[in-house]
Amino acid sequence: MTKEQDIARGSLSCAKCPLRKREIFRVFEADELSFVEHFKKGDLAVRRGATLLVEGAHNPHLYTVRSGWGFRYKLLEDGRRQIVNYVMPGDLVGLQGSLMGEMQHSVEALSPMQLCVFEKAELFTLYERFPGLAYDITWLASREECMLDEHLLTVGRRTAVEKVAYLLAFVLDRAKESGLSSNGTLELTQQHVADTLGISLVHTNKTIARLVDRKYVKWEDGGCRILNPEGLGELAGWMSGSSAKRPFL
Amino acid sequence: MTKEQDIARGSLSCAKCPLRKREIFRVFEADELSFVEHFKKGDLAVRRGATLLVEGAHNPHLYTVRSGWGFRYKLLEDGRRQIVNYVMPGDLVGLQGSLMGEMQHSVEALSPMQLCVFEKAELFTLYERFPGLAYDITWLASREECMLDEHLLTVGRRTAVEKVAYLLAFVLDRAKESGLSSNGTLELTQQHVADTLGISLVHTNKTIARLVDRKYVKWEDGGCRILNPEGLGELAGWMSGSSAKRPFL
DNA sequence: CGAGTGATTGAGGATGCTCAAACCACGTGG
DNA sequence: CCACGTGGTTTGAGCATCCTCAATCACTCG
Tens of pLDDT, residues A190-200: 999 999 999 99
| B209-231 tens-digit pLDDT | 999 999 999 999 878 999 999 99
Question: A134, A159 in Cβ contact below 8 A?
Answer: no
Contact between B52 and B61 (Cβ < 8 Å): no
- Report whether pLDDT(B1) > 60: no
Q: Is the pLDDT of residue B4 over 80?
A: no
In the predicted model, what is the mean pLDDT of chain B?
91
DSSP lists the bridge partners of residue A53 as A107
| Domain CATH number, residue B55 | 2.60.120.10
What's the pLDDT band for B24 if we cut at 50, 70, 90?
Answer: confident
Please enumerate in sequence order all residues whose Cβ is within 8 A of that of A200, keeping only pairs 6 or more positions apart, or say none: A194
CB B168 within 8 A of CB B226: yes
- Alpha helices, H only, chain B: 18-21, 30-39, 95-100, 123-129, 131-157, 160-177, 190-197, 201-213, 229-236
Whole-angstrom Cα distance, residue B117 to residue A193?
Answer: 41
Chain A environment of B203 (Cβ under 8 Å): none
Whether residues B122 and B162 fall in one domain: no
What is the spatial distance, in angstroms and rounded to an integer, between the CA atom of B149 and the C1' atom of D26?
36
Asked whether residue A122 falls in the same domain as residue A212, the answer is: no
Query: What letter does residue B114 receive in the DSSP assignment?
Result: E
Count how many domains chain B has.
Answer: 2
In a domain, A245, yes or no: no
Residues with Cβ within 8 Å of residue B119, at least 6 apart in sequence: B39, B41, B60, B61, B62
Residues A11 and A129 placed together within one structural domain of the fold: yes
Q: In this structure, is residue A1 part of a structural domain?
A: no
Among A137, A161, A177, where does a domain finish?
Answer: A137
pLDDT tens-digit map of A146-192: 999 999 999 999 999 999 999 999 999 999 999 997 789 999 999 99
Are B34 and B132 in contact, with CB atoms under 8 Å apart? no
Which amino acid would we find at residue A138?
T
Q: Which residues have C-beta within 8 Å of that of residue A64, sequence separation ≥ 6?
A: A90, A91, A92, A93, A115, A116, A118, A248, A249
- Mutation target to probe the A interface, by most A beta carbons within 10 A, among B75, B157, B195 is B157
CATH number at residue B194: 1.10.10.10
Which positions in chain A touch B142 (Cβ < 8 Å)?
A: 95-96, 99-100, 141
Contact A240/B at CB under 8 A: no
Interface check for A95 against chain B (CB to CB < 8 A): the answer is yes
Looking at residue B3, its pLDDT comes to: 40
Is A84 in contact with B152 (Cβ distance < 8 A)? yes
Considering the domain architecture, whether residues B132 and B13 belong to the same structural domain is answered as yes
Partners of B26 on chain A (C-beta within 8 Å) are: none
For residues B165 and B188, state if they share a domain: yes
> When comparing pLDDT for B168 and A17, which is higher?
B168
Residues of A in contact with B101 (CB under 8 A): 242, 244
Query: Does A110 lie in the same domain as A10?
Result: yes
Residues A211, A164 contacting (CB under 8 angstroms): yes
A231 Cβ contact list (under 8 Å, min separation 6): A216
Q: Residue A223: which of A193, A179, A248 has the closest Cα?
A: A193
CA A107 to chain centre: 9
Q: Which of A241, A137, A243, A151 is nearest to A196 (CA)?
A: A151
Range of the domain at B216: 150-236
Mutate to test the interface with A, among B87, B144, B152 (most CBs of A within 10 A): B152
Q: Does B197 touch chain A (CB under 8 A)?
A: yes
| DSSP secondary structure letter of residue A89 | T
Q: For residue A104, what is the nearest residue in chain B, using CA coordinates?
A: B146
Segment (H or E) for A137:
helix A131-157
Residue A142 belongs to some domain of the structure? no
Q: Which of residues 140-179 of A touch strand D (CB under 7 A)?
A: 159-160
CB pairs under 8 A between A and B: 145
Which of A103, A137, A171 is where one domain is finished? Answer: A137
Q: How many residues does chain B have?
A: 249
> Are residues B143 and A95 in contact, defined by beta-carbon separation less than 8 angstroms?
no
DSSP tag of B158: S
Distance of C1' in C17 from CA in B202, Å:
9
Domain assignment present for B129: yes
| Structural domain contains residue B64 | yes
Q: Which of residues 111-130 of B touch A (CB under 8 A)?
A: 124, 127-128
Task: State whether B49 and B110 are in the same domain.
Answer: yes
- Are residues A163 and A121 located together in one domain of the fold? no
> Closest nt to A198 (CA→C1')?
D18
Rounded Cα–Cα distance for residues A88 and A171 (Å): 10
Is the confidence at residue B184, as pLDDT, over 50?
A: yes
Residue B76 CB burial class (10 angstroms; 0-12, 13-18, ≥19): middle
Residues of A in contact with B152 (CB under 8 A): 74, 82, 84, 148, 151-152, 155
Q: Which of A120, A122, A115 is CA-nearest to residue A248? A: A115
Pair (A167, A64) in one structural domain: no
Per-residue pLDDT at B23: 74
Q: Residue B60 pLDDT > 50, yes or no? A: yes
Identify the CA nearest to B90 among candidates B115, B107, B53. B115
Residue B245 banded pLDDT, cuts 50, 70, 90: confident
Q: Is residue A102 part of a domain?
A: yes
Last residue of a domain, one of A109, A137, A165: A137
Return d(Cα A168, Cα A157) in angstroms, integer: 17
Q: CA torsion B72→B77→B80→B82, rounded to 10°?
A: -20
Q: What is the pTM of this model?
A: 0.94
Query: A25 and A123 share a domain?
Result: yes
Instruction: Scan residues 41-70 of A and list those with Cβ closer than 8 Å to B.
Output: none
User: Which residue approaches C7 most closely, CA to C1'?
Assistant: A205
Q: CB of B148 within 8 Å of any CB in chain A?
A: yes
Q: Is the per-residue pLDDT at B149 higher than 80?
A: yes
- Cβ of B222 less than 7 A from strand D: yes
Under a CB-based contact definition with an 8 Å cutoff, are residues A94 and A57 in contact? no
Q: What is the pLDDT of residue B129?
A: 96
Give the residue from B41, B42, B40, B49 showing the smallest Cα distance to B68: B49
Query: B216 and B106 in one domain?
Result: no
> CB of A148 within 8 Å of any CB in chain B?
yes
Q: Is A6 helix (H, G, I), strand (E, B) or coil?
A: strand
* B185 strand D contact, CB < 7 Å: no
Distance between first and last Cα of chain B: 25
| Cα Rg, chain B, nearest whole Å | 18
Section B7-30 average pLDDT: 77
Contact A62, A94 (CB under 8 A): yes
CA B203 / C1′ C14 distance in Å: 14
A56: in domain: yes
Q: Are residues A131 and A12 part of one domain?
A: yes
Which residues of chain A fall below pLDDT 70? 1-12
- Categorize the per-residue pLDDT at B7 as very low, low, confident or very high, splitting at 50, 70 and 90: low
pLDDT at B8 over 60: no
The answer to whether residue A88 sits within a structural domain is: yes
What was the pLDDT predicted at B11?
54
Task: Verify whether the Cβ–Cβ distance B99 to A155 is below 8 Å.
Answer: no
Which nucleotide does the CA of A220 lie closest to, via C1'? C7
User: Of B16, B194, B176, whose CA–CA distance to B88 is shortest?
Assistant: B176
